[in-house]
Amino acid sequence: MEMMRGVLLLALLYCGATITTAAKLPDTFLKCKRTDYENVCLKHAVEKALKAMKNGIPSLQLLPIDPLAVTKISIEEGANQPITVKLDLLNAELTGLYGVEVVSASYNLSQRIFDVEVFLPSLNLVGDYDMDGKFLLLPLKGKGKCNLTLSKFKANFLLKARDIKKKNDIYWDITSITLGIHDVSNFHVNFENLFNGDKALGDTTNKALNDNWEEFWGVIRPSIEQAFGDVFAHVANIIFSRVPEKNLFVSTS
């Protein structure tokens, strides 16, 4: 059987004209020494940076990340499997990123590899949906408002970057990001207006999805990981494309 997967995500992250001069990190960020390659300083620096991005960073033209405006996530998973999901999430708002706690952070500077593990108490997405598929013996079909909550989970980010030279400075350019979401304690969903508003069938379906959340989450997880990984690569690139490498660390001179 063929496994089908597709994902597309568009989030609004930055605005305005391109910044052409080398920017500094905002004062709300914490800088580490180049030699602080593991935990302590780096862990605090990453957590502070994520929290500082809550309402956006005007000097870097970064829009707010909590709530984060997500224009579209398209999920297509499990064709011809017992669980098949074709789900578009549109005009959505993602809240909860501010609650992030960084569990560990390390990098290998010479290799330009960063490894960050975070814990999130809760991440909530509210928006419009359009769904078609099947869940075990139940059909999944509807279009309306939805509310999805992923509770208490860990996420691992592995970022790889390369150097690019602009004017006289070196900047980091993220070339790949791998996101793994694990240790999820619950995934709660509410899809309004399933089956053209048939309340009994809608309630039964939402209950089945919530009673068997591990199966439902398991199927859509790869798409969500890819979509959120892409968002974080964009966020990181907004900062790294504007702040040269030399301004990311405590100056040693």
- Give the integer Cα–Cα distance in Å for 17 and 74: 28
Task: Give 14 or 114: the residue with its C-beta nearer to ligand NAG.
Answer: 114
Task: Give 67 or 139: the residue with its C-beta nearer to ligand NAG.
Answer: 67
Which residues touch 47 (CB under 8 Å, ≥6 apart)?
100, 101, 102
Helix, strand or coil, per DSSP, at residue 246: helix
Task: Give 62 or 194: the residue with its C-beta nearer to ligand NAG.
Answer: 194
Q: Is residue 149 within the footprint of ligand NAG (CB under 6 A)? A: yes
Task: Give 134 or 188: the residue with its C-beta nearer to ligand NAG.
Answer: 188
The residue from 37, 98, 119, 213 that contacts ligand NAG (CB under 6 A) is: 37
68 burial type by CB count under 10 A (0-12 exposed, 13-18 middle, 19+ buried): buried
Per the DSSP assignment, residues forming a β-bridge with 176 are 160
Are 24 and 31 contacting, i.e. CB atoms less than 8 angstroms apart?
Answer: no
Q: How far is the CB of 127 from ligand NAG (least distance, A)?
A: 10
- Give the integer Cα–Cα distance in Å for 69 and 95: 9
DSSP 66: S
**Interaction mask 96-125, ligand NAG, x per CB under 6 A:** ------------x-xx--------------
Binding-residue total with ligand NAG (CB under 6 A): 8
Q: Which residues of this chain interact with ligand NAG, rule CB under 6 A?
A: 37, 108, 110-111, 126, 147, 149, 188
